[in-house]
A and B are shown apart, each in its own frame.
Chain A
Amino acid sequence: VVAFSALLAAVVSALAVQIVALREMEVTLTAMKDHEEQMHLALELEDAVRDQYGHQARFVLGESLDLVDYERARSRAHELSRKLSAGLDEPDAMAWMSQIREASAELDRLFRENVAPAVESQNPTAKVAHERTYPLVSRIEQRVDDIFGRLQQAISVLRRDLVEIQGDVLRWTAALLVIMPAFVAAAVLYLSRSVARPLAQLSEGSAALARGDLDTRIDIETPDEFGALATEFNAMTVALKQHHVKLVESEKLAGIGRVAAGIAHELNNPLQVMLGYLSLNRDLPDRRLAQQLAVVEEEALRCKEIVAGLFELSRPSFMPASVDLRELCDDVAVGLRETAQPAGAKLSVDGMAEALGDRNKLRQVLFNLMKNAVEAAGPAGEVEVAVRSAGDQVEVAVSNSGAGIAPDARARVFEPFFTTKPSGTGLGLAVSRAIARAHRGDIAFAEREHGGAVFILRLPRAPEARS
């Protein structure tokens, strides 16, 4: 806007200067015309005075006795001198003009008072008297010439002025012709810097975004609309990236879920028949074979657990009810203590809360979390289970004093089939999280303050018990 205003002001002032110059030229030309008219008048006056003198001479020589022609010539000279003096403004010229008038009046007075009476009385002094008028005529001629000369001089001055003004106008025009493109170029440069460049940046950013580059950022930090637009654009790409990551994750999980469901479904049928026959042959008299079959059954049951996990991963179905989490944690803890090695980790449960959920599924989740914690803590370690309410949610934080989780494994702990244990299936945490999310809850991982890991299960709180 500033650039445009400056450009407009420059153009307008240049044009104003030109108009003023043209006006000056017009004034000068008018003055010159006036001067020329006066020069013409001066020549006419000279002519008229000569005419007047001529009539006087003819009267003296007796060629004409009529004074009418003389009178006409005299009044013409008088009229012309009046006109000429009206148009003059220069002191010198005006003085000369008054001399002309005086001489003219003297010429007439001499003729009427001395020459004319002498001619009428046929006095020979008439010629002498007439000769005395000639210097007057000469003086008038001289003065008219002076005025003429002065006017000529004035005209030449005016002409010089005119040339000067014309030169000025020419220079101004030339200057404008040079300055205007420079101004336009400057304006274009400014516009391109303030509009075109950010526009190009925005367009480049959009194109990059369209190509799928979600890390695109536009670097415009001006406090104008472009800066605001760039900020919005950057915020948009950040949001897009986050959504994209989420989408990819959920797509991945959904894909794994579909595969898991397919595998589980296909494995389930043969497994159930195998387990059926194994269960039918538990009481074989051949003890050696019975023992081997017991091992086969044990392993087949492990397969069944994996299949169940795969089903959970793809479609955690549950039936919500009010679940006493403290009781459930204690229950799981008792089971874990029974199966633990003689010197297992110290396991303690604290706090209380009621969640809305499926008791069996939540038992499975808590069993996974607490079993992992006990294993991570090691025989000399500690596992603390803290149950508490937090607003609309309830939390179970299972922390262990183990070595914690390696940084590169942290992002993957909830990934299906990811495990750090030699005999793990990698389904425990994935299934647990799937169950928690199906409950509209979640499982989060955090580092424990003095080393070790904390897994926090969050679940919706059970509604107040009806009385």
Chain B
Amino acid sequence: MERPRVLVVEDRPSVLTLMATILESWYEVVTASSGAAALSLIDSTPFDVVLTDIRMPGISGFDVLRAVQGRKLATGVVMMTAYANVPDAVAAMKLGAYDYVAKPLDADEITLVVARAVEHVREAQADPSAPPAVDRGSADESSELSMGFHRAVEEARDRASREYLTKLLRLFDGNVTQAAKRARMTRESLHRVMKKYDVRAEHRRDASVGEQPQAAGPGGGLSSTG
């Protein structure tokens, strides 16, 4: 299976190296230490996922997001943000970012969100009318006051993670090892995120009827077998 391409944009070398280390076992990782470097890389090479810090000197994560959207690239943009700046990330979601990860960065969480983003991009390529992975429908302007956009987004992304994991496990009939391979994470890592999102691996014979674990070929989405 072709390794998806991931661009990591981050101005601090230590964080950049960490991100590359987390992802390099599974992905083709390219790093950019500034927004400007990221923009020229986006123009020259296609990426499945761009993982970008929001606050950088000069060209910011928002600029990178806008550049991707302006070029109508089949790329999922995931924002990285410091603990205290979650509202920035929520604002980026409003602008069309696929998702965000809050620092401190957790390897399990990062691999999961990148896996989801890759899956989303592939699905969107196969079926352009597919809804966004993180449904922001309940987080429109009017509900912002009564419920809190932030909370709505958090709930929506938790739901998206849960749905992704449920679908993934159903696809492999509860076989965690195979599911982990598909999600490009370790078995242990998948176990931890399953526990975190309260998703259990159930061996359900009726659900497995007609399903072929290897059916999802290169470029195919999870939903292509459903």
Contacts and interface: CB of A to CB of B under 8 A. Distances in A.
Q: Are both chains from one complex?
A: yes
Given A319-B149, A321-B148, A273 B106 contact: no
A77 to B, nearest CB: 136
A307 B108 CA distance: 22
Given A272-B105, A279-B108, A307 B148 contact: no
A28 interface: no
Given A273-B14, A359-B148, A359-B151, A317 B87 contact: yes
B21 interface: yes
Contacts, number: 75
A320 B148 contact: yes
Contacts of A276: 15, 18-19, 22, 104-107
A20 B119 CA distance: 126
Nearest to B19: A276
A273 B18 contact: yes
Contacts of B108: 279
Contacts of A360: 151
Interface in A314-365: 315, 317, 319-322, 358-360
Interface string B187-217: 0110010000000000000000000000000
Contact of A280 (B12, B22, B147, B148): B22
Best-surrounded residue of A268, A275, A321, A358 (most CB of chain B within 10 A): A321
B106 A279 contact: yes
B58 to A, nearest CB: 19
B129 to A, nearest CB: 32
A269 B80 CA distance: 13
Contacts of B188: 282-283
Contacts of B105: 272-273, 275-276, 279
A464 to B, nearest CB: 11
Nearest to A278: B107
A279 B107 contact: yes
A269 B12 contact: yes
A455 interface: no
A136 interface: no
Interface in A441-467: 465-466
Contact of B82 (A268, A277, A321): A268
A315 B106 CA distance: 24
A358 B148 contact: yes
B84 interface: yes
Contacts of A277: 18, 21
Interface residues of B, number: 28
Contacts of A307: 83
Interface string A264-276: 1000111111011
B150 interface: yes
Interface residues of A, number: 29
Interface string B97-134: 00000011111100000000000000000000000000
Best-surrounded residue of A269, A315, A466 (most CB of chain B within 10 A): A269
A359 B151 CA distance: 8
B146 A280 contact: no
Given A272-B104, A304-B104, A315-B84, A283 B186 contact: yes
Nearest to B90: A319
B103 A268 contact: yes
A308 interface: yes
A319 B148 contact: yes
B18 A268 contact: no
A317 B81 CA distance: 15
Contacts of B186: 283
Contacts of B192: 282
A317 B146 CA distance: 18
A311 interface: yes
Interface string B57-76: 00000000000000000000
B148 A272 contact: no
Nearest to B22: A280
A280 B24 CA distance: 12
Interface in B147-174: 147-151
B14 to A, nearest CB: 5
B104 A275 contact: yes
B14 A317 contact: no
Interface of A: 264, 268-273, 275-277, 279-280, 282-283, 304, 307-308, 311, 315, 317, 319-322, 358-360, 465-466
23 contacts: A268-B82, A268-B103, A269-B12, A271-B104, A272-B15, A272-B82, A272-B103, A275-B105, A276-B22, A277-B18, A277-B21, A279-B105, A279-B108, A283-B188, A304-B104, A307-B83, A308-B83, A311-B83, A315-B84, A319-B149, A321-B145, A321-B147, A321-B148
Interface of B: 12, 14-15, 18-19, 21-22, 82-84, 87, 103-108, 145-151, 186, 188-189, 192
9 tightest Cβ-Cβ pairs between the two chains A and B: A321-B148, A272-B104, A279-B107, A275-B104, A283-B188, A280-B107, A276-B18, A319-B150, A276-B105
